[in-house]
Amino acid sequence: MKKRMKFLLQYRRYRLPFRAAVRTAHGVWAEREGLMVRLEDEKGAVGFGEAAPIPWFGTETVDEAEAVLRELGSEVSEEQMAAVPEKVGCLKHALAVARAEFQVREANNKTEHLGVAALLPAGRAALGLVAGKAELGFRMFKWKVGVADAGDELAMLDDLCAALPDGAKLRLDANGAWDRRTAERWLARCTERPVEFVEQPCFGTRGADDVLRGLAEDFPTPLALDESLVGEQDIERWLGAGWRGVFVVKHVLLADPPAALARLAAAKATVVFSSALETALGARTALRAAFAWPGERRALGFGVWPLFQDARFDGPATGPFLYAQDVERINPEALWNALS
């Protein structure tokens, strides 16, 4: 009988304060909690993965992921990892990514750099930052909306558009904060303005899927799904519904990223790879996937660094482009060791 391959499994839990709290329509986010996992095979080869849940998106909590890890114990087989339930999808992701590290990696494809969207803070503070970021070379800007009064924010939109350099575009992210009427006001205003897409105008209310589909039909500005996509079952649902807007892919939220990305690629979906404010360990895998993406290249939603008070957990400093060589320089083992 073939001997079952066993892996040593270790994990470390982290709680990392952000340099500055992140304000979204969900509230204020001050620190990142998650887990890093480490697998070691019988020959001593190691692989790392990160579980970075966002419970208010509908993922598991870190406690739930940790409970499953405790149950798994310090030695696991492939079968045990495969049997980890879907409801802890972020943990499944971490284990799958760590496991994939053992396979020989094909040479990176030829793309050497990808554009990055500059992240602007909510409210009027965004206005003061556009010129500086434009000077650095950014041409895509992401503005968080749905945080203050919609009328006040709408009044700022034209000021913000006027401040953009020639040829630049704006992404708006409402984090699901608007009702249908508010979304309609915004989308009417976005027409003929340099808005690449409006991300998650509505979410969480009854019939929100229908509202999103209706808005996508009624207005020319594309819509992007983010909160609507917690895992592969949501991607499958929206592909099945013929969604022609943008899929914001937070790689760390996918239990089986290669399978989900293959589905999106086969459907010729428009994908924007985006940070879930994970550490550089999880971001490394996400960015590798972005560099390998066969479809249209949209600016990355990774304009987040420096992010952590402890800069060891940050990815490469954010500029208008992200380079494949900088992604390859991220050292998972060093990040793991930084948690000890």
Active site residues: 144, 250
Choose among 27, 276, 8, 333: nearest CA to 176.
27
Smallest distance from Mg ion to CB 45, Å = 36
DSSP-assigned letter for residue 121? P
- The β-bridge relationship of strands 195-199 and 223-225 is parallel
Residue from 60, 153, 173, 232 in contact with Mg ion (CB under 5 A): 173
Q: In whole angstroms, give the CA distance from residue 111 to residue 114.
A: 8
Smallest distance from Mg ion to CB 108, Å = 27
From residue 195, alpha-carbon distances to 4, 142, 192, 203 in Å are 54, 10, 8, 20
Token pair listed for 155: 């009044």
Instruction: Give the end-to-end CA distance of the chain in Å, rounded to a whole number.
Output: 39
| Cβ distance to Mg ion smaller for residue 76 or 290 | 290
Smallest distance from Mg ion to CB 225, Å = 9
- Cα-atom radius of gyration of the chain, to the nearest Å? 20
Which segment (163-171, 209-217, 218-226, 282-290) binds Mg ion by CB under 5 A?
A: 218-226
Lookup result for tokens 């998972």: 332
Site for Mg ion in 17-76 (CB under 5 A): none
Site for Mg ion in 190-209 (CB under 5 A): 199
Smallest distance from Mg ion to CB 142, Å = 8
| Cβ distance to Mg ion smaller for residue 144 or 288 | 144
Residue from 50, 153, 226, 234 in contact with Mg ion (CB under 5 A): 226
Smallest distance from Mg ion to CB 175, Å = 6
Which segment (115-123, 173-181, 189-197, 324-332) binds Mg ion by CB under 5 A?
A: 173-181
DSSP-assigned letter for residue 72? H
Smallest distance from Mg ion to CB 305, Å = 17
| Cβ distance to Mg ion smaller for residue 130 or 246 | 246
From residue 38, alpha-carbon distances to 203, 218, 256 in Å are 35, 48, 17
| Cβ distance to Mg ion smaller for residue 38 or 142 | 142
From residue 13, alpha-carbon distances to 95, 194, 243, 304 in Å are 14, 42, 37, 22
| Cβ distance to Mg ion smaller for residue 22 or 69 | 22
| Cβ distance to Mg ion smaller for residue 69 or 199 | 199
Which segment (47-55, 117-125, 170-178, 319-327) binds Mg ion by CB under 5 A?
A: 170-178
Q: In whole angstroms, give the CA distance from residue 164 to residue 160.
A: 7
Type of residue found at 53: P
**Count, residues near Mg ion per rule CB under 5 A:** 3
Which segment (157-165, 166-174, 239-247, 280-288) binds Mg ion by CB under 5 A?
A: 166-174
Token pair listed for 225: 């799904």
**Interface ranges with Mg ion (CB under 5 A):** 173, 199, 226
